[in-house]
Amino acid sequence: MPNTKAYAAYNAQDPLKPFDFDRRDVRPNDVQIEILFCGVCHSDIHQARDEWGGSIYPMVPGHEIVGRVIKTGEQVTKFKPGDIAGVGVLVDSCRVCKHCERDMENYCVEGMTGTYNSMERDGKTIAQGGYSTQIVVDEKYVLHVSDKLDLKAVAPLLCAGITTYSPLRYANVGKGTKVGVAGLGGLGHMGVKFAASFGAEVTMLSTSPNKEADAKRLGAHHFLLTSDEAQMKKYEGYFDVILNCVSANHSYEKYLNLLGLEGKMLVVGLPSENPQLSPFALITNRRSIVGSMIGGMKETQEMLDYCAEHNIVADVEVIKMQEINEAYARMLRGDVHYRFVIDLESLKK
Ligand code: NAP
Ligand code: ZN
Ligand code: ZN
């Protein structure tokens, strides 16, 4: 059994600490991957700290994984040792329900198997994520990654990338669409890059005045400071689409009021408390709220291929595994530019 070094949350309060465990032996359809880089998603913090309830410990977070294939099972056809591969937010699903059949394993009727904080489908093993030296995953849930891109900057595409790409595509964002992206963090900065790349007019909706220059460098055409009442008034009814990437508890109404006729708020941010919402903010302009959870395997591969073709990657700050607790503290202060990525070399020494 492949012995694996990792960092884990042992409970909701304490800092993450070293943790050793065995991955399963490689099965006929499995790919064993040596992890090179793993992005740090705000969902890692929500779950390590049990902010959504039901967390399973010990928990090795991490679902933005890029690595090198080191071994394949005898029935594997898509990968060979040496290939660069990615693993995102899910590692299994039922494979036969009506959603799995439509390549939407992320919405599996039985519930997808998360990369961590989830039980494997045997019902006995805790799935453990990418803050670790290696992972073993069925090839159906492993993605091809172009080795032409900067791999540390590719890792965040596996969650932040697909989570913003999928709803923007679903909402048909393109030339002529006025898009607001709320929250300039890991998801938000990918949302800006994709919306701009699809040809939309993009406005950053942020609580941080010091992020204006970065927002524009990332591709935003305008910057709206959401604490400035006068600016908010000016943009009332302006947008066709708002991609809500906010991680902290907040009022939906503030953003809904910025939507024009039949405008849509695409919700991807997952604060722990229910949002404030008046039905009047919805009936005005016949607005709607649409939720979206990552993407299926086919769409995730499509997104990675789109990024390789258009040279899109995340803006990252590389950290050592041992610096993870400081990185969490900085993310909670909004001090992230714009994704922390762990170099797993730091755990192999
Ligand atoms: P992040 O990097 O920490 O960024 C969150 C951003 O939210 C911050 O940078 C900040 O941007 C903004 N923000 C923070 N507090 C705020 C407040 N009180 N009011 C308004 N804005 C505030 O987080 P992330 O990794 O991008 O994740 C964002 C959220 O998406 C998390 O809740 C995460 O769990 C969720 N998520 C969902 C999915 C899905 O499938 N739906 C997938 C991945 C993550 P400004 O400084 O610009 O205001
Ligand atoms: Zn994530
Ligand atoms: Zn299914």
Domain definitions of the chain by residue range? 3-158+295-348, 161-291
Nearest CA to ligand 1 atom 27: 42
| pTM passes above 0.95 | yes
Quick check: do 3-158+295-348 and 161-291 share a fold?
Answer: no
| pLDDT tens, position by position, 298-322 | 999 999 999 999 999 999 999 999 9
pLDDT at residue 205 above 90?
Answer: yes
Q: Is the CB of 296 under 6 A from ligand 1?
A: no
Q: Average per-residue pLDDT in the chain?
A: 97
CATH of domain 3-158+295-348: 3.90.180.10
Q: Is the CB of 72 under 6 A from ligand 1?
A: no
Contacts 24+ apart (CB under 8 A), 74-80: 74/28, 75/28, 75/29, 76/28, 76/29, 76/30, 76/31, 76/139, 77/139, 78/139, 78/142, 78/144, 79/31, 79/139, 79/142, 79/144
Peptide bond into 238 cis (omega under 30): no
Q: How far is the CA of 270 from the centre of ligand 1 (A)?
A: 8
In the structure, what pLDDT confidence band is assigned to residue 349 with cuts at 50, 70 and 90? confident
* 188 CA: nearest ligand 1 atom: 26
Q: Is the CB of 294 under 6 A from ligand 1?
A: yes
CATH architecture of 161-291: 3-Layer(aba) Sandwich (3.40)
Q: How far is the CA of 298 from the centre of ligand 3 (A)?
A: 14
* 291 CA: nearest ligand 1 atom: 41
Q: How far is the CA of 334 from the centre of ligand 1 (A)?
A: 9
The pLDDT of residue 276 is: 83
From the CA of 99, the nearest ligand is: 3
